[in-house]
Structure 1
Amino acid sequence: MTDAHETAADRSLRTTGGAPPDDAGSSVTQAPTPLLEPREGIPPVIADAGALAEVTAAFAAGTGPVAVDAERASGYRYGQRAYLVQLRRQGAGTALIDPVACPDLSGLGAALSGTEWVLHAATQDLPCLREIGMVPSTLFDTELAGRLAGFPRVGLGAMVENVLGFVLEKGHSAVDWSTRPLPEPWLRYAALDVELLVDLRDALEKELERQGKLEWARQEFDAIAAAPPAEPRKDPWRRTSGMHKVRRRRQLAVVRELWQTRDHVAQRRDVSPGKVLGDAAIVEAALAQPANTHALAALHGFGRVNRRQLDQWQAAVDRARSLTESQLPQPGQAVTGPPPPRAWADKDPAAAARLSAARAAVSALAEELAMPQENLITPDTVRRVCWQPPKESGAEAVTEALAAHGARPWQVELVTPLLVEALAAQPGEQQEAGPRAV
């Protein structure tokens, strides 16, 4: 269904005299308006092949960018799969699709090939969308656009309010989206999440262009769209909360066995691992290494566990206790990059001086450009270049090093002069970072 009335982006720009203010902090000069209902009402949930085919045809025939969002059941279900997919496009209206009933959306994804997808915090939703066959060729990330434009708050609700002048109700963001049937208030919330996404995109594009940052944003969006799926984490059990307390190898083995047992149970039951056994309980058991279920039951987190579950957890502890020295995990993870910066002064004072100079220069330029430092250049890239600088000095070598670490052309252009100067810094030099012309 086409939108005959004025768009929210047009309304925002009209009420603000054409653009957000220089600090991009709040572009709306009148009280925000609560957004209570989708323009065409709450659409029915697509849950069968016939309805999906109709929606696919409608969105293929639509015009302009397509707003895309996905809802997961983090904290309730195992993994990060999508439990609802929302789309909106000019000429097609809004669609709510149940990916449990329609697990293969590759046909819809193919129908939108070549169309710009508009997502908010795209890297959060792209993995679960990829699982059901939806992969964009081009995209516009409204959260990242907000960061580059200098907005202090870049959540969807804050951006819609500050840029477009509407208030989104965010009360259902953390509900269990695996619930069936989905309650009407949740569906209304889901539909409203894509209601103004394209309008937000249009306003942010104008603001980025005004600031001279639109090409930078396009390079960032292209990098997100082209990025391959993330590699599985190595030793994910090491990310257990509270691991800093676990120092002995035998204790590490207990954490590993309990974590892997919990993960197997959570996957089999399709529940969040935290609902099976908390991280705090795993760490406490690792520190105590109980000899039997009676001792295990006395630990925090195990007191209300039934006997069968106690036997299961105790068996994991016993497996860890029976391992030989050669089978025990090593403390820490294999270091593939520089050591922690706090250790640089002792290990390599020259590298510490380079890093100090680079950080000061990057911080000053990021402040001048009104964007977070990590969006100007990732801290990891700065650390790697400063720890192992190019063998050859000069801009060309630094440019090659930055590109090799994945920096985009716009980042390379801006940061190369800073690092060329920083790599010449010597221990004991006082680093000063002032405003710099771009």
Structure 2
Amino acid sequence: MIDEAPGFARACTALAAGHGPVAVDVERASGFRYSQRAYLIQVFRRGAGAFLFDPPALGDFAPLQAAIGDAEWVLHAASQDLPSLREAGLEPAAIFDTELAARLLGRERVGLGAVVEEELGIALAKAHSAADWSTRPLPDSWLEYAVLDVLHLVDVRDRLAAALAEQGKTEIAEEEFRAVLERPARPPREDPWRRLSGLHTVRGRRALAVARELWTAREDYAREVDTSPGRLVPDRALVAAVLADPATKQALASVKEFTGRASRSQLDRWWQAIERGRACSELPIERVSGDGPPPPRVWRDRNPAADARLKAAKPAVDAVAAELGMPVENLLTPDSLRRLSWSPPEPLDAASVGAALATLGARRWQIERTAQTIVEAFVDSTQEPPSAPEEAS
């Protein structure tokens, strides 16, 4: 592993002198650390070899960016790695996503190990995929695992690119890769504390305020000590504390279900959070409605026309996906179809449906292959079924 400036400089020189696409992968410490920073960056290029870089030790990755920035970067599940790469100062100009390519090709298994095995016949052991990559020093077996993640990726890319060309999907893939690369970061979630597992068992606005304050206190402490929140106090333990409604700090300490490595060592912190929740004047509402349509199971009663449109359009879009040989969610997201079915544009034609799909984030190729199909399905949904002929008496 490269963790000093001289070795880093030599590696960057070698990579700049290499040729062709550059395979890149990132190892994080998800589930162990609070941040999603990269704790290992693996890079391979033909004519240069494979290199493992230690981001905490090296810090500035500008030399690596300069060495490989103009080349196509090959990643597997790029959307997962791009935020960590960008945090390290690394930004590709173009990408080839081997997972996304496998999906567009209709492959049944799209994990890295499965794709490498199907394309190259090489089996990769995935024993350390969930390891704590902030560990130092990293064991040799982990480093071997890490280098194998990029060693074969360019060969896989070439095989998948050939298959995409054979199926006439090269332009589709390029459009999807650009969309992944250019997709803006998600805005912060409103009321993220509502994702607390088990929160549905909490009743009452005051109790929800306590849950919110406990979640916020845990989040602040997790950020402070750079530890995954669930490793400090699990979600179920926070919810147990809310449901127990302890009268004193000692009573909180006596709640058996209030577990976790920091449940007792930070008892003052949690008790103060409970007291803030009980004293706050701004109480959260109990139910928050989403910005989209309600669940389809209630459409038949609440909006029968929308229900009919969705039931007509879904199999029609499924058929287009089957014809293209790809999962339907890669052709058009279920959420987009639901939103369009609930509130279709006027006038109802391919242009207006295409504009609505574009607003929802659909790409050009998706619109070209689905807009007219959706219009026809919506129109068909309004037609009365033919009545059965009367039987002769």
Taking structure 2 as the reference length, the TM-score comes to 0.93
Q: Which moved more, 1:161-170 or 1:107-116?
A: 107-116
The superposition leaves residues 103-128 of structure 1 with CA deviations (integer Å, 9 ceiling, x where unpaired) of 22133123322211000000111100
Q: Aligned equivalents of 2:226 and 2:280: distance in 1?
A: 30
* 2:248 is the alignment partner of 1:319: no
Residues 105 and 163 in structure 2, CA contact (< 8 A), matched pair in contact too: yes
Residues 68 and 87 in structure 1, CA contact (< 8 A), matched pair in contact too: yes
> Relative to 1, partners in 2 of residues 1:303 and 1:72: Cα closer, same or farther, differing over 3 Å?
closer
Matched residue type, 1:234: E
Residue in structure 1 matched with residue 33 of structure 2 by the alignment = 77
Cα deviation, residue 424, structure 1: 2.0
Cα deviation, residue 134, structure 1: 0.7
Q: What pairs with 1:41-190 in structure 2 (closer than 5 Å)?
A: 45-190=1-146
Cα deviation, residue 337, structure 1: 2.0
Residue in structure 2 matched with residue 285 of structure 1 by the alignment = 241
Q: Which consecutive residues of structure 1, in runs of 5 or more, have no partner in the other structure?
A: 1-44, 431-438
Q: Aligned equivalents of 1:247 and 1:418: distance in 2?
A: 45
Q: Aligned equivalents of 2:264 and 2:128: distance in 1?
A: 37
Q: Aligned equivalents of 2:220 and 2:58: distance in 1?
A: 26
Cα deviation, residue 217, structure 1: 0.9
Residues 297 and 303 in structure 1, CA contact (< 8 A), matched pair in contact too: no
Cα deviation, residue 330, structure 1: 1.7
Higher normalized helix content (fraction of residues): 2
Q: Aligned equivalents of 1:349 and 1:247: distance in 2?
A: 32
Residues 213 and 276 in structure 2, CA contact (< 8 A), matched pair in contact too: yes
Q: Which moved more, 1:283-292 or 1:303-312?
A: 303-312
Q: Aligned equivalents of 1:393 and 1:303: distance in 2?
A: 56
* 2:357 is the alignment partner of 1:357: no
Residues 75 and 95 in structure 2, CA contact (< 8 A), matched pair in contact too: yes
* 2:307 is the alignment partner of 1:378: no
> Relative to 1, partners in 2 of residues 1:334 and 1:114: Cα closer, same or farther, differing over 3 Å?
farther
Alignment RMSD (CA, Å):
1.8
The superposition leaves residues 36-76 of structure 1 with CA deviations (integer Å, 9 ceiling, x where unpaired) of xxxxxxxxx11122322222222122110000000000111
Cα deviation, residue 307, structure 1: 5.0
Residues 353 and 429 in structure 1, CA contact (< 8 A), matched pair in contact too: no
Residues 281 and 299 in structure 1, CA contact (< 8 A), matched pair in contact too: no
Q: Which consecutive residues of structure 2, in runs of 5 or more, have no partner in the other structure?
A: 386-393
Residue in structure 1 matched with residue 198 of structure 2 by the alignment = 242
Q: Which moved more, 1:401-410 or 1:53-62?
A: 53-62
Matched residue type, 2:269: Q
The superposition leaves residues 296-337 of structure 1 with CA deviations (integer Å, 9 ceiling, x where unpaired) of 23334326767552232122111111122xx01122335322
Q: Aligned equivalents of 1:342 and 1:232: distance in 2?
A: 29
Matched residue type, 2:286: P
Matched residue type, 1:401: A
Matched residue type, 2:299: W
Residues 353 and 425 in structure 1, CA contact (< 8 A), matched pair in contact too: no
Taking structure 1 as the reference length, the TM-score comes to 0.84
> Relative to 1, partners in 2 of residues 1:308 and 1:272: Cα closer, same or farther, differing over 3 Å?
closer
SS at match of 2:379: coil
Cα deviation, residue 178, structure 1: 0.4
> Relative to 1, partners in 2 of residues 1:68 and 1:308: Cα closer, same or farther, differing over 3 Å?
closer
SS at match of 2:57: coil
The percent of aligned pairs where both chains have the same amino acid is: 54
